[in-house]
Amino acid sequence: MQFQRNNLSNETLIDLYKKLLYPRLIEEKMLLLLRQGKISKWFSGIGQEAISVGATYALQPNEWIMPLHRNLGVFISRNMPLQKLFQQWQGAEDGYSKGRERSFHFGSKEHFICGMISHLGPQLAVADGAALGYKLKNEQKVALTFTGEGGTSEGDFHEALNVAAVWNLPVIFIIENNGYALSTPVNEQYRCKNLIDKAIGYGMEAVQIDGNNILTVYDTVKGVREYCIKNQKPYLIECITFRMRGHEEASGVKYVPKEMFEQWIEKDPIKNYEHFLIEEKILGNLTVAHIRDELKNEIEQSPLAPEGSSLAPGGGIVNASASEKDITQRELEDVYAKQTNEINIISQSEKRVRFPPPGARAPLRFIDAIKEGLHQSMIQHSNLILMGQDIAEYGGAFKITEGFVNEFGKERVRNTPLCESAIVGTALGLSLENFKSVIEMQFADFVAVGFNQIVNNLAKIYYRWGQNADVVIRMPTGAGVGAGPFHSQSNEAWFVHTPGLKVVYPSTPEDAKGLLIAAINDPNPVLFFEHKALYRSINAQVPETYYEVEIGKAKKVRIGVDVSIITYGMGVIWANEYAAAHPEISIDILDLRTLLPLDYKAIRNSVNNTGKVLVLHEDTLTGGVGGEVSAWIAQNCFEFLDAPVMRCASLDTPVPFNTELEKNFWAKSRLDEMIQKLINY
């Protein structure tokens, strides 16, 4: 192994040695603790340290890094306190994730490290977002992200590299090619000769280097960083290395030929660099021994468990003095980031926003109310970025953003490639750099392609390590427009099962504007459902001012005593039409407006008013929101009920294209039957 010092001082070379050695010694300690049962799992980076350390050393300390589970050198090189890292790995409350995450699935905004999730590909697009933030602020920085050779087979790899290339983002993509994705060798992973060949398709520069040579890694990343900043372009680096232990300790290494270990042990990054330093008389044997002893002593002196803690049943450490009730309350409170800004709020009891006097302003259509809320938010927040397919010059599939690009420019109103997953990840990366973003899914159906980023990355990140995801995803949804199975689904129930998300579904122009503004102001990820059939079919008076409708609060639409209809979205329209056509029935109508979190107090009051409840929604019956609402009522409001809680929903089929079949599919076609059944029970 040939080392080129490239005018680096002896002090720098020695500092690199210490940073390279330190994670190896920590790992040796962790493997001992694993055998002693003091930690539950460990993903080893032994043999790969030079990549993490060299890359981190080449960056500025305030540039974001998106590491994976073998990048201990990133955390150590960013000078994270070892005691707190030990607490993290033991699942202690005082760790970076309060005992909620394992090993390296955590981040720290203070150290500009973004925590990974187990799905490895999403990290790549998050780096795109951080780099876009730098670009928008004209900062001379790069974002750096790691993946393995196995991760290059994921769609997220393609999407992230493509977005970075198309948008000219200063991102460094590092592939740690260690030969195996768990047990799958490279010859079963890809067919190109080298992984850097993939860069050609993106018009991206790339280089393959020896990932075990610390000076090569450092010098390469340093030079690439300068290239990315100067040219505002991404770069791909493939680091050839080897994993000296199993994917994780329990999996072993029986699938690896013995001769490969013999070959790669000779390429050990620490042993070779140490030999170079001694040979060049930069260090002596006694100094090397002293450095090792000093680092080992530092490791041994770091306490493993905080005082007053005890082992939890799952192997983690919790505060022994905390009651189960206290722990539960804290856990629930930490699902959502807290909102700090105050905006005028329309509430049911007190309307603090004036409506225009009759005739002073024409009623707004549902679609125009959304557009106005979005437009006013763009003015209110100079850090708000819009992203979506065809939303710039074309104005979006439904023309909601038409004209925005002329007013706010292409930096803030951004057409995206066809890559829902990467754009959601990019939005999260923007949030790291304190930007807000609104993503337009062309149709709610297409969100399936970005599902993982939403439910595993956006939703959980605040609970995991306190980083908020300031992202709104607009979801044009629903049937009734003859669009068939892939442009008509009501898929809101996919997301209400995911803690950390907020799910909003307005039914009136007034609520559509106010709830959208509230969603943009909320620091948490919000899925904002907009029924396509309502866009141009309903209108109403809407305040001209900038206002919020509070997320999490239902609205009483109609007061009645005979039967309650609890509903949302298009169901509110159906319920109102039915009530108007049947004045002989006193119907209580509750518009949920927010599906996560639900307004249980309002639900309880509606049930108490009538004793007979129909939960109505357009979504299919099985697994819909109505099932959750019905179960909650049965469990918490049983004493009020005079009949079983009933549900009225659409057929358990895909949405048909033929308009007559679509009418038959819709819950509306069974509404009268269900109401009569409930009234006559």
Q: Are residues 118 and 241 in the same domain?
A: yes
Q: Are residues 287 and 384 in the same domain?
A: no
- Given 69, 111, 158, 487, which residue is catalytic? 487
* Residue 618 backbone phi and psi in degrees, to 5: -75, -30
Q: Are residues 510 and 579 in the same domain?
A: no
pLDDT in tens, 543-583: 999 999 999 999 999 999 999 999 999 999 999 999 999 99
Q: Are residues 505 and 563 in the same domain?
A: no
pTM, whole model, 2 decimals? 0.94
Q: Are residues 397 and 288 in the same domain?
A: no
Q: Are residues 528 and 571 in the same domain?
A: no
CA distance 141 to 135: 8
Q: Are residues 544 and 559 in the same domain?
A: no
331 within domain boundaries: no
* CATH of residue 566: 3.40.50.920
CA distance 449 to 428: 16
67 within domain boundaries: yes
Pairing of strands 205-210, 235-240: parallel
For the record, the structure tokens of 448 come out as: 């399936």
Query: SS3 for 417?
Result: coil
User: Would you state the pLDDT for residue 382?
Assistant: 97
Tokens 């992984």, residue located:
195
Contact 149, 176 (CB under 8 A): yes
CA distance 446 to 487: 8
**Number of folded domains that form the chain:** 3
Is 487 an active-site residue?
yes
Q: Are residues 560 and 493 in the same domain?
A: no
Domain with 634, as residue range(s), is: 555-679
413 within domain boundaries: yes
CA 415, chain centre distance (Å) = 20
Cis peptide before 597 (omega within 30 of 0): yes
Question: Which runs of E-coded beta strand occur in 453-516?
Answer: 471-477, 502-504
CA 510, chain centre distance (Å) = 29
CA distance 378 to 364: 19
332 within domain boundaries: no
User: Would you state the pLDDT for residue 634?
Assistant: 97
Q: Are residues 565 and 624 in the same domain?
A: yes
Amino acid at 215: L
For the record, the structure tokens of 40 come out as: 């539950």
Give the chain's radius of gyration (CA, Å).
28
User: Would you state the pLDDT for residue 351?
Assistant: 47
317 within domain boundaries: no
141 within domain boundaries: yes
CA distance 143 to 130: 6
CA distance 623 to 48: 46
Find all residues with CB under 8 Å of 570, minimum gap 6, and list them.
478, 480, 507, 531, 533, 534, 618
606 within domain boundaries: yes
Q: Are residues 447 and 594 in the same domain?
A: no
Q: Which of 549, 569, 586 is the last residue of a domain?
A: 549
pLDDT in tens, 387-429: 999 999 999 999 999 999 999 999 999 999 999 999 999 999 9
Q: Quick one: pLDDT band at residue 310, thresholds 50, 70, 90?
A: very low
Q: Are residues 484 and 365 in the same domain?
A: yes
Q: Are residues 19 and 106 in the same domain?
A: yes
367 within domain boundaries: yes
CA distance 147 to 175: 5
Q: Which of 532, 549, 566 is the last residue of a domain?
A: 549
- Give me the residues paired with residue 504 across strands: 528, 594
Q: Which of 495, 529, 549 is the last residue of a domain?
A: 549
Ranges 134-138, 231-235, 348-352, 646-650: which has the least confidence: 348-352
DSSP 392-452: SSS--TTSTTTTHHHHH-TTTEEE--S-HHHHHHHHHHHHHTT-EEEEE-SSGGGGGGGHH
* CATH of residue 500: 3.40.50.970
User: Would you state the pLDDT for residue 139?
Assistant: 98
